[in-house]
A and B are shown apart, each in its own frame.
Chain A
Amino acid sequence: DSGVTQTPKHLITATGQRVTLRCSPRSGDLSVYWYQQSLDQGLQFLIQYYNGEERAKGNILERFSAQQFPDLHSELNLSSLELGDSALYFCASSVAAGGGGENSPLHFGNGTRLTVT
């Protein structure tokens, strides 16, 4: 058990809808990362928060947004959903602000599988 909790595990919704994915980081971790894994693609970096502030941004669509709350949990909001947004969304947490420390590997949740129909 990594200590990172993601909910829900599965989500099925229709095109045009909006969903919220939730992540609770491992106790003591201040950084939260969001990654998207689509078919035949690797883990695509979306966004990182550290202690409530946006730290780094990847190729996150404008239809997607995220935030990290004072209790350090994070939410990823996906709106105007398209079929191509169907993917496995991972949240990961680490103790450090960046990925540079030897003691700061990422700890992954089990992912939320989003299916857009």
Chain B
Amino acid sequence: ILNVEQSPQSLHVQEGDSTNFTCSFPSSNFYALHWYRWETAKSPEALFVMTLNGDEKKKGRISATLNTKEGYSYLYIKGSQPEDSATYLCASAHDKIIFGKGTRLHILP
């Protein structure tokens, strides 16, 4: 059974602070790791898709790293802004794409 775990479940961060959260996934038969941002009342939007061990991706203040050998990925947000408030989902692609339950990020003004 493929199990993708994300932690923490919820996070409150002061505006301007940096933060990070974790996604762990099975390392066997691994193809790719996806990160999505999901705002309330909208649908998930892709941030990154990473495939290689040691991959790092960056988009503005958001970046992600990938360790396929130990089965984890980190998402970093630098200098959090109110518009970063959302649920961040990771998904692990094996023979199917399985999502974690997400980390809900709240940015406090």
Are B99 and A45 interface neighbours, CB within 8 A? yes
Are A102's CB and B49's CB within 8 A? yes
Map CB proximity to A onto B47-58 as digits: 1 under 8 Å, 0 otherwise.
001110000000
B45 within 8 A of A: yes
User: Shortest beta-carbon distance, B51 to chain A, in Å?
Assistant: 6
Stretch at the interface among A14-22, A61-69, A77-85, A108-116: A108-116
Closest to B51 in A: A102
Known: A45-B97, A45-B98. A100 touches B51 (CB 8 A): yes
Interface SS of A by simple majority: loop
Contact: B31 with A111, CB < 8 Å?
no
Whether A99 contacts B50 by the Cβ 8 Å rule is: no
Number of A-B contacts (CB under 8 A): 70
User: How many residues on chain A are close to B (CB under 8 Å)?
Assistant: 26
Q: Mark B30-47, 1 if CB is under 8 A from A, else 0.
A: 011010100000111110
B35 to chain A: closest residue by CB: A105
What is the minimal beta-carbon distance from A1 to any residue of chain B, in angstroms? 10
In the complex, A102 Cα to B66 Cα: how many Å?
Answer: 13
Which residues on B sit within 8 Å (CB–CB) of A105?
Answer: 34, 36, 46, 49
Shortest Cβ distance from residue B1 to the other chain A in the assembled complex, whole angstroms: 10
Q: Does A106 lie within 8 Å of B97, measured CB to CB? A: yes
A-B contact pairs, 14 of them (CB 8 A): A42-B89, A42-B102, A43-B89, A45-B96, A48-B97, A57-B96, A99-B31, A99-B49, A99-B91, A99-B96, A104-B49, A106-B91, A106-B97, A110-B42
